[in-house]
């Protein structure tokens, strides 16, 4: 019985991770900038480090760090807007 619980916990963890990844991808796709989308997808969904992304895109590493920071700020605004809209629709 214990091995079944461990298996179920692992399955549940994978489902949560998959759902979170899907929601993150959905939010990223709402961004306007193609570069923002690409950097965030590569870093968070493909688990690439920033130096690798800089190399692949032939962009200076400093530019990647700044672009990622700005993209995350934009993503936060998108997500905050979704949360506000969801709260308003429930009221």
Mean pLDDT of the chain: 83
Please tell me the predicted confidence (pLDDT) of residue 80: 87
Measured N-to-C along each axis, helices 61-90 and 2-28 cross at an angle, to the nearest 10 degrees, of: 100
Q: Give the pLDDT of residue 8.
A: 67
Q: Which sign does the torsion angle of CA 70, 49, 61, 31 carry? A: negative
C-alpha span between 87 and 66 (Å, rounded): 32
- Cβ density class 25-36: b for 16+ within 10 Å, e for less: eeebeebeeeeb
pLDDT in tens, 55-84: 999 999 999 999 999 999 999 998 888 767
Q: Helix 50-57 and helix 61-90: axis angle, to 10°?
A: 110
């Amino acid at each position: 019985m214990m091995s079944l619980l461990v298996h179920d916990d692992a399955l549940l963890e994978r489902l949560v991770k998959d759902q979170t990844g899907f929601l993150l991808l959905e939010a990223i796709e709402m961004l306007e900038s193609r570069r923002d989308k690409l950097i965030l997808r590569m870093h968070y969904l493909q688990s690439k480090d920033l130096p690798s992304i800089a190399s692949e895109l032939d962009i200076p590493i400093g530019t990647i760090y700044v672009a990622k920071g700005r993209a995350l700020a934009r993503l936060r605004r998108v997500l905050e807007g979704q949360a506000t809209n969801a709260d308003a629709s429930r009221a």
